[in-house]
Amino acid sequence: MFHTIEECTNFIFQLKASTYKGEPLEAIGIILTELGNPQETVKFIHIAGSNGKGSTVNATREILMEHGLTVGAFTSPHLEFVNERVTINKEPISDEVFLHYANKISTIIDEKLHGQYPSFFEIMTVIALLYFSKRNVDVALIETGIGGRIDSTNVITPEVSVITTISLEHTEILGDTLQKVAYEKAGIIKEGKPVVIGVKQQEALDIIFEKATNCHAPVYVLNQEIELFNIRKNSPQLFDYKSQQGTINDIPLAMQGAHQIENAALAITAALAFDSSIEASTIRQALKNARWEGRFEQVTEQVIIDGAHNSEGTEALLNTLLEFYPNKHYHFIYAALSDKDHEKSIHLMDEVAASMSFTEISIPRAARAKDLANQSTHSFVSVDENWQRLIEKMIANLQEEDLLVITGSLYFISDVRQFLLEMRQHDPQA
């Protein structure tokens, strides 16, 4: 039994991979059955994708909350505290409730799984499903971990499924082609339930369409059934939206970047597929206020943080920089996980950077700063394994035309964000 939240989280954090010897989803199925199958009492929207999941969840939540619904959300990773992964109306689960559920699950694991522990993510999934059921939420937004078909979240039957984007990622699990990755993501599509799709590659779309057809699932595809037009790059951005669900003009969006307009369009479509009575005015008000921490977040006038973790995310980040800050000098600080492919991301940054600096995250999966730096072809490259020292030095040397952009991983950004906020608290000019 866990007696403190620290003891509990320290234990479950170490459960990177399941020690359970059975089939995928078998362990989580046993635990949920013992808990009375809480997932059967909640309405869900299920979101998968290589990029854009978090922003799409956030925008969908804002719309549904503005509509007056009580909205649960299960997201990852967290920025500061593990509780952030499980929220209701943006309020994280309390330490007390988290601990209570974790102990319940631990007892079931000891008795029914004979001490063979599921992974950290599987345990978090169960905590989220149990919490949303006990609190009688109107709807819960569930973000997949990896893939979809055998992801631990795929024990739910959603009212709507969303597949944001697809790129080559986690190839050792999902496969080494876009078609194989698409097959895994399409695993969240359910019989007769609509699916909202932001994927653009035809070879991936063909796989998703095949699954949707087999499931008799209506499809809403970005740039096909979902149209975006009259995009104005103001602050906030403005755009018009059209789908089979109707036309909405002059939608304001606080989040910056063309990719965020696409994420917002997926969110609008998913929300309307869930509840067609949502008014256009509700959507406008919700997206006007929607912000997502760690995603192109301007922490100070000259410092932007972004959790881009692959080349597609990096490309979206750079497009947004060039769109909104075309005359600035970009100084990048980059740290990442060792199990990601960094070369393309680094080369993309090399092309627009004034300087490139590499550092390390304080976790075992971190890529070495020197290894990252060796992949850069930029003329001005620096390495400092101590990211706090590097950030302080870079901020101290910023000139008026400079912009410091810190990126590479949401795990990195979670620590950086807290550090920058503390810096600003002690020195408002930082």
Chosen domain end from 234, 258, 289: 289
DSSP string, 293-305: TTSSEEEETTEEE
Taking only the tens of pLDDT, the chain with its 430 residues reads: 888 888 998 888 887 666 666 787 999 999 999 999 999 999 999 999 988 999 999 999 999 999 999 999 999 888 778 899 999 999 999 999 999 999 999 999 999 988 788 889 999 999 999 999 999 999 999 999 988 899 999 999 999 999 999 987 666 666 678 999 999 999 999 999 999 999 999 999 999 999 999 999 999 999 999 999 999 987 789 999 999 999 999 999 988 888 899 999 999 999 999 999 999 999 999 999 888 788 889 889 999 999 888 888 899 899 989 988 999 999 999 999 887 779 999 999 999 999 999 999 988 789 999 999 999 999 999 999 999 999 999 999 999 999 999 999 888 998 899 899 888 777 755 5
DSSP string, 124-180: HHHHHHHHHHHTT-SEEEEE-SS-STTSTTTTS--SEEEE----S-SHHHH-SSHHH
Query: Do 48 and 139 fall within a single domain?
Result: yes
Query: Do 316 and 283 fall within a single domain?
Result: no
Residue 307, SS3? coil
Query: Do 116 and 252 fall within a single domain?
Result: yes
- What is the domain-level CATH number for residue 236? 3.40.1190.10
Query: Do 275 and 315 fall within a single domain?
Result: no
Query: Do 43 and 92 fall within a single domain?
Result: yes
Give the closest residue to 306 by CA, choosing from 205, 414, 388: 414
Based on the number of CB atoms within 10 Å of its own CB, is 351 exposed (0-12), middle (13-18) or buried (19 or more)?
Answer: exposed
pTM of the model: 0.85
Query: Do 275 and 301 fall within a single domain?
Result: no
Query: Do 94 and 32 fall within a single domain?
Result: yes
Query: Do 389 and 336 fall within a single domain?
Result: yes
Query: Do 282 and 330 fall within a single domain?
Result: no
- What is the domain-level CATH number for residue 329? 3.90.190.20
Query: Do 262 and 364 fall within a single domain?
Result: no
Query: Do 42 and 122 fall within a single domain?
Result: yes
User: What is the greatest pairwise CA distance in the chain?
Assistant: 62
The number of folded domains in the chain is 2
Chosen domain end from 245, 260, 289: 289
The whole-angstrom separation of Cα 95 and Cα 91 is: 12
Distance, CA of 326 to chain centre: 27
Query: Do 77 and 141 fall within a single domain?
Result: yes
Domain, as residue range, for 351: 297-426
Chosen domain end from 271, 289, 307: 289
